[in-house]
Chain A
Amino acid sequence: MQKVYTKIESIVGNVITVRATGVKNSDLAEVSGANGKSYANVIKLDRDLVSLQVFSGTQGISTGDSVRFLGHPLRVSYTDALLGRVFDGSGKPRDNGPDLNENMIEIAGSSVNPSKRIIPRKMVRTGIPMIDMFNTLVESQKLPIFSVSGEPYNQLLARIAMQAEVDLIVLGGMGLKYDDYLFFRNTLEKSGAMSRTIMFIHTASDPTVECTLVPDLALAVAERFALDGKRVLCLLTDMTNYCDAQKEMAITMDQVPSNRGYPGDLYSTLASRYEKAVDFDDAGSLTILAVTTMPGDDVTHPVPDNTGYITEGQFYLKNGHIEPFGSLSRLKQQVNGKTRDDHRALMDAMIKLYAAYNDTLEKKSMGFMMTDWDDKLLKYGQRFEHELMDLSVNIPLESALDLGWKILASCFDRNETGLKTDLIERYWPQE
């Protein structure tokens, strides 16, 4: 029934064309020849001319290779056997485990009906004070980590993967250095978090096409687990590599580029992935945390810019810590009123004082005289940076709040903090 085609008409970039009939858009095909086998999917149909992008790249493909259409789009297995496993960008095992072919589900499914969405209401605890206390992560939130290359963003993700209070982690790696992949695997294995993790990894040396499939695979699986009542956290790194792969594909396909070479549908492409984040009323939830490296630390670059319009805030990772100023969790208001009654007030007060510390630093660097108040701020700022901002700090929210009060008390008098009197009376540490 499945006819095999043995004449490839053209091979350009990662795209091949064959003459075939009865083929459906987005269908999967298997291309096999002397240099091995690879999957490919249909991206364009023009009468009997079918264009396919070959997942493993077209290097070594001969015009005489055979193409067999499988009659369905790319699918991924969805079973509990996925847990603890590592796959590549075409869904094949990367560890030495067996192939999974049970209960195949389609990737890149339709989006959730907006009228079925609910207002997010549960926080995700990570043990990182800069997140939990100052920019709370909320279930169903989509948040990027804007980072300059060279920052420890993968370390941060790995820590979140180990500590986040969720049922399941799905990690999608795009264009990862092999060392980074090993780092993720080793760290998660050592901490025991691997048993609740599923990894889809595309490394920098793998074919480009597979890079563009990683988010779809990861999110399709994550979404199904969420539907089955799990609280899922999907970590994606690095979305800039994903966008660059999209750019490469678009340009090989002769698409007119819009901004700095990126395709005109970059916004929609990113949005349809990020919008998978959801909280189901009577099932689980899917939260997305994605690294976006900013080329040249430029937030107006098309990738971070489009991302910012889609996501619900952003974390800025700079100089080894999460910046308190540019970072924003748009959903934190939904949850931080319900944690502890001093949470919001303490958060605001500490940030204001930290801003004042920065002004003082500037004054100091210009050689101005330091007043008593300036000295207090300097002491405060240093303690704040070491004890709360530092990425290695690992304490639950309540301890972070207590620590905040302790830092304030060690640096300031009661009436210097701008906090309400009744809160001070209840929380100010007694000497």
Chain B
Amino acid sequence: MANKTGHVVSVNGNMVNVEFDTSITKNEVAYIIVGGTRLKSEVIRINGNVASLQVYEMTTGVAVGDEVEFTGELLSVELGPGLLSQIYDGLQNPLPELAQQCGYFLQRGVYLDAIPDKDWDFTAIKKEGDTVEAGDTLGTVPEGAFTHHIMVPFNLEGQWRIEKIVPSGTYNVHSEIAVISNEKGEKKSLSMIFDWPVKKAIKCYQERLMPDEPMVTKIRIIDTFLPVAKGGTYCTPGPFGAGKTVLQHLTSRNAEVDIVIIAACGERAGEVVEVLKEFPELIDPKTGRSLMERTIIICNTSSMPVAAREASVYTAATLAEYYRNMGLNVLLLADSTSRWAQAMREMSGRLEEIPGEEAFPAYLESRISEFYERAGKVRLKDGTVASVTIGGTVSPAGGNFEEPVTQATLKVVGAFHGLSRERSDARKYPAIDPLDSWSKYSGIIDKNRVNRAYSILSRGNEVSQMMKVVGEEGTSLEDYIIYQKGELLDAVYLQQNSFDPVDFAVIPERQKETFDVLYDILTSDYTMESKADVRVFFNAVRQAFLDWNGIALDDEKYQQYKTRLVDTYKEKVRA
């Protein structure tokens, strides 16, 4: 194949213009050759015989006249067994292997194989002569706790006949597994690995379904009040220091899904390190194996090249869709989508496009919705139901939600978990604002009862606002009780101590039990004479409740603590 080439005519930051004389494709990958190194870049605009490339590396040392090689392939990731527990950069370079080769620092122009060169125990499912199409499973290999499906590449069209398939046995990931052919006589040799362009959603499924099943996070305020559905989308905007990343880490640890993909996009490297060092030590209660075995980390931290940051969320989405197509439930966590949007803004500025609000490009909203639309619950061709859930954090400038990225995100997500500075300053964690946030999904508890509890919370909040003006003296006893009920709901249910060994993750059954008791407390009438009585009463109830929250389900004192709580409040309930 004759290589298509061109040469550099101008350099501006990480944008390089290249003159070419053959035909090239938009979004294809090109390499700029600087000295001995090849810098990966992507064609993002073509104008006459000049192509604009965004370079995924620093452009120091690039000169006019440098040679450029066009590959003819769109920016792709490798899909195959061995992806789980890997740590990649935004372009699917394995970081630990890179460190072995280059030492402490990232070196530009070094691109390694994403999928480890390894042997797998292959079990054939299809046999010679079978007809298959894109996405069909040829056979499986065990990958940790999961059955990894070796599928027909998603980009093949029409029906294909299996000419040859290897018998079950141990094969290298790169070796030939099957040969297929179609009516036109085209022949393809398949290994366990194939490529897929990251910016294209994988659509190899039968139909999309309504996301109607809750995705349990074991965080009470989310599961009960602001639920997320499997196959749904949600966003977590918040000012710095409000605990966005801690909340995402908790979710990535505790979420009841099969696979978690963490896209650390333009954030602190230190935060990724915590995941890297902690996850291998933690045990996934579902599989009994280390949490790392269900996790993939895509890590393009803030000091790594900006253009690769733009690619990293797509890389993560593609890996999520790939595992979804094996019938698994995947959770993709992107931290933070603002940094990704900023990467688009930087590029747009270099392209001298007419800026939209706050200099973000005009296509910001469509890109954001395109990304979140890659989530979904689907029925695969074999009837299995699987899902990709996407949760993204947003880092709004100045903590003000009236900015383009937050607003564009709110339009497309199914749940909004807004973090507030007031709550985090008051050390009320998770700092999700219960009154501003919303969710369109249904959770683990009956909607009517949740709404009733909600109304008490918002009434209590109103009373508390009023009390700031008129003082406690000017508040009626009735209102004061509502205020105390709201505070109780906040203190014992909405707040959750992520450092407490018991309270940090609460399973749905326990949430239901807790909510039943709380609901009864909130909806009961009480016989109390004075505000002092009310205060003492609610203090006692709160203390008993927190004690109960803090005790493990299998502890023998569990029932005893519950009884003590029930006795405490029943005493004052009006008959």
CA distance A111 to B103 in the complex (A): 11
Given known contacts A45-B10, A46-B10, A255-B349, A110 and B273 CB-to-CB distance under 8 angstroms: no
Whether A300 touches B399, Cβ cut-off 8 Å, given contacts A24-B63, A113-B98, is yes
Tell me the complex Cα distance, A223–B574, Å. 70
Q: Beyond A113-B98, A117-B269, A275-B303, is A25–B59 a contact (Cβ under 8 Å)?
A: yes
Whether the pair A47, B64 counts as a contact (CB closer than 8 A) is: yes
CB distance from A20 to the nearest CB of B (A): 9
Interface string of A279-322 (1 = CB under 8 A from B): 01000000000000000000011100110111011000000000
B11 within 8 A of A: yes
In the complex, B435 has a CB within 8 A of chain A? no
Whether A116 pairs with B99 at a CB distance below 8 angstroms is yes
Q: Does B423 contact A (CB under 8 A)?
A: no
Across the interface, do B355 and A256 meet the contact criterion of CB distance under 8 Å? yes
A252 interface residue per 8 A CB criterion: no
Instruction: Tell me, rounded to whole Å, the shortest Cβ–Cβ distance linking B266 to chain A.
Output: 7
Please give, as numbers and ranges, the residues of chain B lying within 8 Å of A255 by CB-CB distance.
349
- Any A CB within 8 A of the CB of B530: no
Per-residue interface assignment for chain A, residues 257 to 270, with 1 indicating a CB less than 8 Å from any chain B CB and 0 otherwise: 11100001101100
**Is B270 engaged at the interface, CB distance under 8 Å to the other chain?**
yes
Distance in angstroms from A142 CB to nearest chain B CB is 9
Q: How far is the CB of A243 from chain B (nearest CB, A)?
A: 14
Question: Would you call B269 and A112 a contact (CB within 8 A)?
Answer: yes
Q: Identify which of A21, A257, A305 contacts B397 (C-beta below 8 A).
A: A305
A98 to B399, CA, bound (A): 49
A25 & B62 in contact (Cβ 8 Å cutoff): yes
Contacts of B270 in A (CB 8 A): 117, 120, 140, 312, 331
Set of chain A residues within 8 Å of B114, measured between Cβ atoms: none
Bin the interface of chain B by size: 35 or more
Q: How far is the CA of A257 from the CA of B342 in the complex (A)?
A: 13
Q: Is B268 engaged at the interface, CB distance under 8 Å to the other chain?
A: yes
- By beta carbon, the residue of chain B nearest A254 is B352
**Cα distance, A119 to B188, chains bound together (Å):** 47
Which residue of B61, B99, B301, B303 contacts A25 across the interface (Cβ within 8 Å)? B61
Of B9, B59, B61, B269, the contact of A114 (CB 8 Å cutoff): B269
> Interface readout for B370-399 with A: 1 if CB under 8 Å, 0 if not?
000000000000000000000000010111
Q: Known: A23-B64, A44-B11. Is A114-B273 also a contact (CB below 8 A)?
A: yes
B140 CB, nearest partner CB in chain A, Å: 30
Q: Mark A116-141, 1 if CB is under 8 A from B, else 0.
A: 11111000000000000000000010
Q: Is A265 touching B59 in the complex (CB atoms < 8 A)?
A: no
Map CB proximity to A onto B299-334 as digits: 1 under 8 Å, 0 otherwise: 101111010000000000000000000000000000
Chain B residue, CB-CB nearest to A48 = B64
B45 within 8 A of A: no
Q: How far is the CB of A227 from chain B (nearest CB, A)?
A: 7
Cα–Cα distance between A300 and B398 once the two chains are bound (Å) = 4
B residues near A25, Cβ cutoff 8 Å: 11, 59-63
- On chain A, the number of residues with a Cβ less than 8 Å from chain B's Cβ atoms is 54
Docked-complex contact A257 and B359, CB < 8 angstroms: yes
**B436 beta carbon closer than 8 Å to chain A:** no
Contact present for B349 and A271 (CB under 8 Å): no
Q: Which residues of A are found within 8 Å of B273, using beta-carbon distances?
A: 114, 117-119
B65 within 8 A of A: yes
Say whether A115 contacts B60, CB under 8 Å: no
Q: Are B60 and A26 in contact (CB under 8 A)?
A: yes
Q: Across the interface, do B9 and A259 meet the contact criterion of CB distance under 8 Å?
A: no
Known: A24-B63, A115-B87, A308-B240. A110 touches B276 (CB 8 A): no
Instruction: Say yes or no: is A272 at the interface (Cβ < 8 Å to chain B).
Output: yes
- State how many angstroms separate the Cβ of B177 from the closest Cβ of chain A: 31
In the bound complex, what is the Cα–Cα distance between A22 and B400 (angstroms)? 47
User: Judging by beta carbons under 8 Å apart, are A265 and B268 in contact?
Assistant: no
Evaluate whether A259 and B397 lie within 8 angstroms (CB atoms) in the complex, with A26-B60, A44-B12 already known: yes
Please give, as numbers and ranges, the residues of chain B lying within 8 Å of A118 by CB-CB distance.
273, 277
Interface flag for A222 (CB, 8 Å): no
Instruction: Check: B466 CB closer than 8 A to any chain A CB.
Output: no
**What is the interface of chain B mostly: helix, strand, loop, or mixed?**
mixed
Whether A115 contacts B106 by the Cβ 8 Å rule is: no
B370 to chain A, nearest CB (A): 21
Given contacts A117-B269, A120-B270, contact A265 B10 (CB under 8 A): no
Question: Is the beta-carbon distance between A112 and B105 smaller than 8 angstroms?
Answer: yes
User: Contacts A46-B10, A48-B64, A256-B349 hold; do A115 and B95 have CB atoms under 8 A apart?
Assistant: yes
Instruction: Return the CB mask of B346-371 against A: 1 if under 8 Å, else 0.
Output: 10010000010011100000000000
Question: How far is B360's CA from A268's CA once the two chains are assembled, in angstroms?
Answer: 15
Q: Is B491's beta carbon under 8 Å from chain A?
A: no
B105 touches A109 (CB 8 A): yes
Complex partner residue of B95 from A22, A23, A109, A113, CB under 8 angstroms: A113
With an 8 A cutoff between CB atoms, is A400 at the interface? Answer: no
Q: When chains A and B are docked, how far (Å) is the Cα of A331 from the Cα of B399?
A: 22
**Interface check B412, CB cutoff 8 A:** no
Asked if residues B104 and A227 are in contact (CB atoms below 8 Å), the reply is yes
Question: Could you tell me if A114 and B299 are in contact, using CB atoms closer than 8 angstroms?
Answer: yes
Q: Are A114 and B346 in contact (CB under 8 A)?
A: no
The answer for the CA separation of A209 and B36 in the assembled complex, in Å, is 31
CB-defined interface of A27-54 with B at 8 Å, one 1/0 digit per residue? 1000000000000000011111000000
Q: Does A328 contact B (CB under 8 A)?
A: yes
Tell me the chain B residues, 90-105 only, with Cβ under 8 Å from chain A: 95-96, 98-99, 102-105
Q: Which residue of B lies closest to A109 (CB)?
A: B105
* CB pair A264 B106 closer than 8 Å: no
B276 touches A114 (CB 8 A): yes
Q: Taking A26-B60, A112-B105 as contacts, is the C-beta distance between A21 and B241 under 8 angstroms? A: no
CA distance A32 to B279 in the complex (A): 58
CA distance A44 to B350 in the complex (A): 11
A50 to B241, CA, bound (A): 43
**Mask: chain B, 1-26; 1 = CB below 8 Å from A; 0 = not:** 00000001111100000000000000
Residue of B at shortest CB range from A51? B12
Task: Give the CA-CA distance A125 to B302 in the complex, in Å.
Answer: 28
Q: Say whether B346 contacts A21, CB under 8 Å.
A: no
Known: A268-B302, A302-B397, A310-B268. A21 touches B339 (CB 8 A): no
Within 8 Å by CB of B10, from A21, A47, A271, A280, lies A47
**B108 interface residue per 8 A CB criterion:** yes
Q: How far is the CA of A302 from the CA of B397 in the complex (A)?
A: 7
Contact A45 to B63, CB < 8 A, known contacts A111-B303, A114-B301, A119-B273 = yes
A310 and chain B: residue at smallest CB distance: B302
Q: Determine whether B272 belongs to the interface, using a CB cutoff of 8 Å to chain A.
A: yes
Q: How far is the CA of A301 from the CA of B9 in the complex (A)?
A: 38
A381 lies within 8 A of chain B by Cβ: no
B500 contacts the other chain (Cβ, under 8 Å)? no
Residues of A within 8 A of B339 (CB): 267
- A22 / chain B contacts, CB cutoff of 8 Å: 63-65
Residues of B within 8 A of A (CB): 8-12, 58-65, 87, 95-96, 98-99, 102-108, 239-241, 266, 268-270, 272-274, 276-277, 299, 301-304, 306, 339, 342, 345-346, 349, 355, 358-360, 395, 397-400
19 A-B pairs besides A22-B63, A280-B104 with CB distance below 8 A are A21-B65, A24-B63, A25-B11, A45-B11, A108-B60, A113-B99, A114-B95, A114-B269, A117-B273, A118-B273, A120-B270, A259-B397, A265-B342, A268-B346, A271-B302, A300-B400, A308-B241, A312-B268, A331-B270
12 A/B residue pairs, CB under 8 Å, sorted by A: A25-B61, A25-B63, A48-B64, A112-B105, A113-B99, A116-B103, A116-B104, A140-B270, A258-B359, A268-B346, A271-B302, A275-B269
In the A-B complex, the 10 residue pairs with the smallest Cβ-Cβ separation, listed nearest first, are A300-B398, A271-B302, A275-B303, A111-B303, A258-B359, A308-B240, A46-B10, A45-B11, A26-B60, A115-B95
